[in-house]
Structure 1
Amino acid sequence: MTVTILITRPEPEASRLAERLQAVLGAQVSIVVSPLMRIEYGGALPDLTGNAVLIFTSRHGVEGFCRLSTRRDFTCYAVGDATAEAARAHGMTAISAAGDATALLNRIAAEGVHGPFVHLRGAHVAADVAEVLRAAGHDACDVVVYDQVEAEMSATARAALRGNGSVILPLLSPRSARIFFAQAGPITAQLCIAAISRKVAAVVPEGTKSVVDIAQTPDLPGILAVLQEQVGMAKRLEGGKRPQ
């Protein structure tokens, strides 16, 4: 039985994840990259004051900001380590919350930072960070610096989903999950979903015949740990009964 990992993240993250998985898992799996969104940068920044605190909840937010401004002297808070690393690569000082949007807001509150805050984000977000900050009495706004435009699933991905092997699907956002199930159609493969959070897992339609495992931490290491477990399970089940 073929074990396929289907990566639907936008580029360049999709190829980065594929390379990392191939290095770890080698010939154990076939990796199919079929982004279901593409990133389009654009937007306009407000007049940023010298004491503004920037908030990034994705590497695309960092890239979008850096395409619009040459300033790198702001205090920056990043949702996770990868986003913080992207900001540092552009010459900014970034503090990582090492988690999700809730962890980010908790970190800001714990450190007593008052802003004004500017959340550089995509057109579609899972959490309204600026609204939560405003509700807490802070001066906060959000600026859209990129869009996540839906893309068509590839023929190779559809063929894998209609096969009789195992397909392991990492899902890192509620929107990517919704797009996947809207496009997938009938699935005959044994589907295993690695969800980055309970919010993402909740988007899986009721009645979908799949195994859904949730990462213990809402980040790439958490997803990688789930994927490795699922690959091992799929291999052990080769030739056996499909899980219900």
Structure 2
Amino acid sequence: MTVTILITRPEPEAARFASALRGDHGDTANVLTAPLMHIHWTGALPALSGDETLIFTSRQGVAGFCRLTARRDLPCYAVGEATAQAAREAGLDATPCGGDAAALMRRLAEDGARGPFLHPRGAHVAADIAGTLRAAGHEAAEAIVYDQQPQPLDAPAHAVLAGPAPVIVPLMSPRSGQLFFAEAPAPRAPLLIAAISRATAETVPEGAARVLRIAEAPNAAAIRNLLRDMVKSAKRLEGGKRAQ
């Protein structure tokens, strides 16, 4: 039996991540994409004075901002390197901040950034960036520029979850975890969950996963490192089942 890595990220991240994992694992794992959400562009930006410092916490936030304005002259901070790279590719001057909201706040403090800040974001976020900045005495606003709307798991995903072979599921946000277990509350396949954060791991129902591990850092690179170990774990689990 073949171990499957089931990717539930929205497109185009799903295809990009799948390509990276196929490079990591070759034919040792079947990499399957089944997005649980799709991107819906929405919202508007406030009037820009030109004094803003932008804060981006996702590639989609960058894309949503750039869809709504031609301005590329505002400085920006990005939660991680991948988001910073997306901002640079769009023509923005971006500073990466270590991978999570806490690291972003530390970098802003270290740099003495004063704002006003603007956080172009999705309708669902893991951390209240603008609220935290306001609580620290800064002027900060947010603009919802996209939504990640739920969509059901497709038939191939349901098929592997109904089979006997182990399925590894990287979960990249708490909302992904909630949606996945709403779609697949009792899969037959042994599940190995790679969670990007503790908050994401907490969405996994008790007893739902044979293996539940949290990445060392809240980014895709750390998830890829974790998946290398989890594929080995899945192979051991598969071998143990055959031996019984």
TM bucket by the smaller chain?
Answer: over 0.9
Does 1:96 find its partner at 2:96?
A: yes
Partner of 1:144: 144
| Percent identity between the two aligned chains | 56
Q: Would you say the 8 A contact 1:195–1:215 is kept in 2?
A: yes
Partner of 2:126: 126
Partner of 1:204: 204
Q: 1:241 deviation in Å?
A: 4.4
RMSD: 1.1
Partner of 1:8: 8
Q: What do the CA deviations read for 1:207-227 (whole angstroms, capped 9, x no partner)? A: 324311110011111000011
Q: 1:91 deviation in Å?
A: 0.6
Partner of 2:35: 35
Partner of 1:161: 161
Q: 1:51 deviation in Å?
A: 1.3
Q: Distance in 2 between matches of 1:66 and 1:192?
A: 37
Does 1:78 find its partner at 2:78?
A: yes
Q: Distance in 1 between matches of 2:190 and 2:111?
A: 46
Q: Distance in 2 between matches of 1:174 and 1:82?
A: 19
Tell me the SS of whatever aligns to 2:181: helix
Q: How many residue pairs end up in the alignment?
A: 242
Partner of 2:215: 215
**TM-score normalised by structure 1 residue count:** 0.97
Partner of 1:226: 226
Partner of 1:135: 135
Matches within 5 A, 1:55-70: 55-70=55-70
Instruction: Provide structure 1 residue ranges, at least 5 long, that are not aligned to the other structure.
Output: none
Q: Would you say the 8 A contact 1:194–1:226 is kept in 2?
A: yes
Q: Distance in 2 between matches of 1:210 and 1:181?
A: 14
Q: Would you say the 8 A contact 2:191–2:208 is kept in 1?
A: no
For 2:152, the aligned partner's letter is E
Instruction: Provide structure 2 residue ranges, at least 5 long, that are not aligned to the other structure.
Output: none
Q: 1:53 deviation in Å?
A: 0.4
Q: Distance in 2 between matches of 1:177 and 1:213?
A: 13
Q: 1:86 deviation in Å?
A: 0.2
Q: Would you say the 8 A contact 1:162–1:186 is kept in 2?
A: no
Q: Distance in 2 between matches of 1:15 and 1:39?
A: 14
Q: Would you say the 8 A contact 1:84–1:94 is kept in 2?
A: yes
Q: Would you say the 8 A contact 2:84–2:94 is kept in 1?
A: yes
Q: Would you say the 8 A contact 1:43–1:145 is kept in 2?
A: yes
Q: Would you say the 8 A contact 1:88–1:94 is kept in 2?
A: yes
Q: Structure 1 residues 143-152 or 233-242, which shifts more?
A: 233-242
Q: Would you say the 8 A contact 2:45–2:143 is kept in 1?
A: yes
Q: Distance in 2 between matches of 1:42 and 1:84?
A: 22
Partner of 1:172: 172
Q: Structure 1 residues 96-105 or 70-79, which shifts more?
A: 96-105
For 1:142, the aligned partner's letter is E
